[in-house]
Structure 1
C-alpha cells in the first residue's frame, strides 16, 4: 500500500468510497470490503451525509450510519481516516439538489453534529463543503468550518466541486482571519479527459481542470500543500467493461488515442487497464489520491494491487501526452 499525507495525518494513497455501503451494497458485503481494505493497509475512507438520498428507499444518511456501526463493532478509532461531506442533503423528502441544505453557518454546525453522531466520533477527521452555495457568503462558510476546528470537533477542512477561483478566495479569507485553510480537495478525475464544453451527465459532478492543477502546483511552491482526491477515477468500470458506455463528453478523438497508449502500457507492465489508470493518477504531479467505489472483493483487490505498480517516467509521460 502506498501512503500520502493530509496535513499532518498519514493516510493510504488509495481512498475507499463508501457511498453505497449500508444501502445498495448490503451490510455484510460492505463490512467485508472495509475489513479487506484495512487488512491491506488502507486507512482512508470517503462518505457524505447525503449518500444515497437519490436511490429509492433510502434517505441519505445510510453510509455514515453504517460506517459508525462498523467502527463500533470493529473497535476502530483513529487508525482509519474518514472524510465526510455536508451541504447537499435535500431539505424536502423526494426532491434533489434544488432543495439542498447549503452552507450557511447554522447548517454547517448542525450537519457536522449529525455526522459526528452517526459516525460515533467526537471529532471528524475531515469535512468537505460538498458543493458550492452561492446564496451564502464564502466568509460565513469558512468561518463556520473554522469554528468547528477551534472547538476541537474537526480536523481538516475540505472543499469539493468548487471552481478554482473560489478555492483561491477561500484561501485568502482563511489567511485574512487566521483560519485553517482547506487542504483537502475532491473532484471528478480520471485518465480519460472529457470535453469541457459538454456537460457531465452525473448529478453534481465537477471535473478537475488544468487551471485547478496549476493552482495546486503553484500553492505547493508557496508551501501550501493540498491533497487532491479524485472520484469516478475508473469511470464506473468503462475501462474494462463493454456494457459500460462512456458519456457524450468523452466522445472526441482524444479518447481512442489515450486508450491506445493505455493498452501499450498495459502490455508492458502486465497490469490491468484499471491498475495502470490508478497508478498514473498516483504518480501524477500533483499526486492524485484515487477514490474507488467497489462492490466485490475482487474489484477491491485489483485496486489495492495497483498501489504496488509504479510507472516509469517514460510510461507516465506517454500516457499524459496521448490525445
Structure 2
C-alpha cells in the first residue's frame, strides 16, 4: 500500500486509494461487505468513505445502511483507531421539506449540519469522524453560516477535517477564502466524479459533477487541497461487455481514448481498469480514487494498480488521445 497526507501537511495520513462503501449493506450484502473491508485492511488500506444517505434509492433502503454496516465492522474488528472514516452531510432527504429530492435535501444550515453529524456518529457508533464532506452545495443558506457551522464541528472535536463534494470550483474557493479570513478550518478535500474518459462537450453539470480543468488548475495551485474521484471505473464499463458506456461518455471523442487505453494496458501487462487508476494517481495533480467494488476480485484488481507506473511517453499518449 502507498500513503499520502490528506489536505497537505495538516490532515491525517491515508492510503492512496479509498474504499467506497456506498452500496454496502444494500446491493452488496453484509458478508461480502465485511470481506471487502477485511481485505482492504489486510492490504494496508486505511481510508473508507460513506455518507448519511447511502443508498436510499435502493428499494426498501432508508439511507442508513452503509454507515450502520461500517459501524458494525469497525466495532467487530476494533478498527476505529487505524481507519480514517469519511462521511457526508447535506444530501439526506428531510421529510419536512417535501418528497422530491434534491429539493428536500437536509441542506447545509447549522441545525441540519449538527443533526446530520449526530445521526452519522450514532450509526457509526463513534464520537468522531476523521473527514466530513459538505455534500451538495446549498444556495439556500449563507455561505458564511455553512462555513461557521462546519468549523464548529472541528473546533469541538467531532470532526477532524472538512471536505466538499460536488461543489463548483468558484464556490469551493469562496468557502475556503471565507474560512481563512475568519481563522476557521476550511475545506481540505474535494470529491467529484473523475475518470479517464471526458464527458461530452457542452454537457451541463448535474448534481454529480465531473472534475474539470478549472478544478485541476485550482488544486494544482493549492497543495493543501486533496482531490478525490468517484465513479473512476464507470461501474465496470471499461471492461465489461454487459456494461455500456454511460451516456455522458458515449460520444466520438471517447473512441481514440479507449483505443490508446487498451494499447497502454497491453504494453504494461495490466488491465484497462488498472491503467485508469494509475493514470489518476500518478498525474500532475494526484487523485485519490474512491473504489466502488462489489467483490474481492474487483478489489484485488484495483489494489494492483498501486504498483503500476506509467512512463512519460505512455502518460503523454493517454493525455493527448
TM-score (norm 1): 0.95
> 2:32 matched to 1:29?
yes
Match of 2:103, SS state, is helix
Match of 1:64 in 2: 67
Aligned partner of residue 183 in structure 1, secondary structure? strand
Query: Where does the alignment leave 5 or more consecutive residues of structure 1 unmatched?
Result: none
Equivalent position of 2:297 in the other structure:
298
Contact 1:104 1:141 in 2 (8 A): yes
Q: Is this contact kept in 2: 1:129–1:160, CA < 8 A?
A: yes
Report the Cα offset of residue 196 of structure 1. Answer: 4.4
User: Which of residues 97, 101, 106 in structure 2 aligns to 1:96?
Assistant: 101
| Match in the other structure for 2:2 | 2
Question: What is the CA distance between 1:204 and its match in structure 2?
Answer: 2.8
Q: Which residue of 1 aligns with 2:151?
A: 146
Aligned 8 A contact 1:54 1:96 in 2: no
In 2, are the aligned partners of 1:195 and 1:250 still within 8 Å (CA)? yes
- Kindly indicate whether residue 184 of structure 2 is the aligned counterpart of residue 179 of structure 1: yes
Q: Using the alignment, how far apart are the partners of 2:60 and 2:320 within structure 1? A: 45
1:238 matched residue in structure 2: 237
* Whole-Å separation in 1 of the counterparts to 2:250 and 2:58: 28
Paired residue for 1:256? Answer: 255
Rounded to whole Å, the distance in 1 between the matches of 2:62 and 2:238 is 31
Q: Deviations over 1:17-48 (max 9, x none)?
A: 10011111111110000000000111111100
Unaligned runs of 5+ residues in structure 2 are none
Per-residue Cα deviation, 1:171-199 (whole angstroms, up to 9, x for no partner):
11011110012011100010011024224
Using the alignment, how far apart are the partners of 1:94 and 1:72 within structure 2? 34
Partner SS state of residue 136, structure 1: coil
Counterpart for residue 282 of structure 1: 281
Q: Given the alignment, which residue of 94, 98, 121 partners 1:116?
A: 121
Give the Cα–Cα distance (whole angstroms) in 1 for the partners of residues 213 and 107 of structure 2.
27
Equivalent position of 1:12 in the other structure: 15
Aligned residues: 316
Give the CA deviation at 1:254.
Answer: 2.0
Aligned position for 1:133: 138
Report if the CA contact (8 A) 1:196-1:249 is conserved.
Answer: no
Query: Aligned with 1:99: secondary structure?
Result: coil
**Contact kept? 1:199, 1:249, Cα under 8 Å:** no
Residue 314 of structure 1: CA displacement?
A: 1.5
The Cα offsets for residues 52-86 of structure 1, whole Å up to 9 and x where unpaired, read as 11111011111001111111111112211110001
What CA deviation, in whole Å up to 9, does each residue of 1:91-120 have, x standing for no partner? 128642221100001110111111111112
Question: TM-score, normalized by length of structure 2?
Answer: 0.95
What CA distance in whole angstroms lies between the structure 2 residues aligned with 1:95 and 1:76? 37
RMSD, aligned α-carbons: 1.3
How far residue 296 of structure 1 moved from its aligned partner, in angstroms, is: 0.8
Match of 2:28, SS? coil
8 Å contact kept, 2:233–2:276:
yes
Show the counterpart of 1:42. 45
What is residue 79 of structure 2 aligned with on the other side?
76
Could you report, residue by residue, the CA deviation over 1:135-192 in whole angstroms, capped at 9, with x for unpaired residues?
0011111100110111011100000100011011011101111001201110001001
Answering whether residue 197 of structure 2 is matched by residue 192 of structure 1, we say yes
SS in structure 1 at match of 2:4 = strand
